[in-house]
């Protein structure tokens, strides 16, 4: 369990860490106002995903900057540019958040180095 109760958040950023397979999610959560908090983090490490062209599973190195708001309950006004994630039961479940971030990354288009052509292969 990797859970932070919303009411424990403060205007001082709270550090968090979540791990899943070979990937690491590090960052901070800070209370912004009322029922809104902001999460800033980075996802590093690697995941194994199938190539969209040849379907062969390959290692994808992760280097993602993640930033979004967390809302404890319903948000009536959205004057923010960032995405808002509504949390359940007034707790922030970091493992679940990380899982959905990884699913989001996996849903992007990816192809392995063999399918990417010769220009990228020279970098390996």
**Interacting residue with Zn ion among 3, 53, 82, 84 (CB under 5 A):** 53
The yes or no reply on residue 115 touching Zn ion (CB under 5 A) is yes
Q: Which of 63, 74, 4, 1 is nearest to 36 (CA)?
A: 74
Q: Per DSSP, what are the bridge partners of residue 44? A: 24, 63
Q: Which of 13, 6, 5 is nearest to 29 (CA)?
A: 13
What DSSP assignment string belongs to 47-78?
EEEE-TTT--EEEEEEEEEEEEEEEES--S--
The yes or no reply on residue 4 touching Zn ion (CB under 5 A) is no
* 34 vs 114, beta carbon nearer Zn ion: 114
The yes or no reply on residue 112 touching Zn ion (CB under 5 A) is yes
* 105 vs 115, beta carbon nearer Zn ion: 115
**Tokens 């912004």, located at residue:** 32
**Interacting residue with Zn ion among 54, 57, 84, 104 (CB under 5 A):** 54
* 36 vs 115, beta carbon nearer Zn ion: 115
The yes or no reply on residue 49 touching Zn ion (CB under 5 A) is no
Two tokens at 88?
Answer: 């359940």
Residues of this chain that interact with Zn ion (CB under 5 A) are 51, 53-54, 111-112, 115
């Amino acid at each position: 369990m990797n859970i932070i109760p919303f009411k424990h958040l403060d205007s001082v950023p709270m550090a968090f860490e979540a791990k899943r397979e070979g990937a690491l999610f590090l960052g901070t959560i800070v209370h912004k106002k009322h029922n809104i908090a902001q999460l800033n983090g980075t996802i590093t490490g690697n995941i194994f995903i199938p190539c969209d062209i040849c379907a062969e599973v390959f290692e994808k190195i992760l280097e993602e900057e993640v930033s979004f708001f967390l809302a404890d309950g319903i948000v009536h006004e959205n004057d923010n540019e960032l995405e808002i994630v509504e949390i359940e039961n007034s707790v922030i479940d970091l493992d679940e958040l990380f899982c959905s971030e990884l699913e989001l990354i996996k849903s992007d288009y990816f192809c392995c180095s063999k399918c990417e052509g010769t220009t990228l292969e020279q970098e390996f």
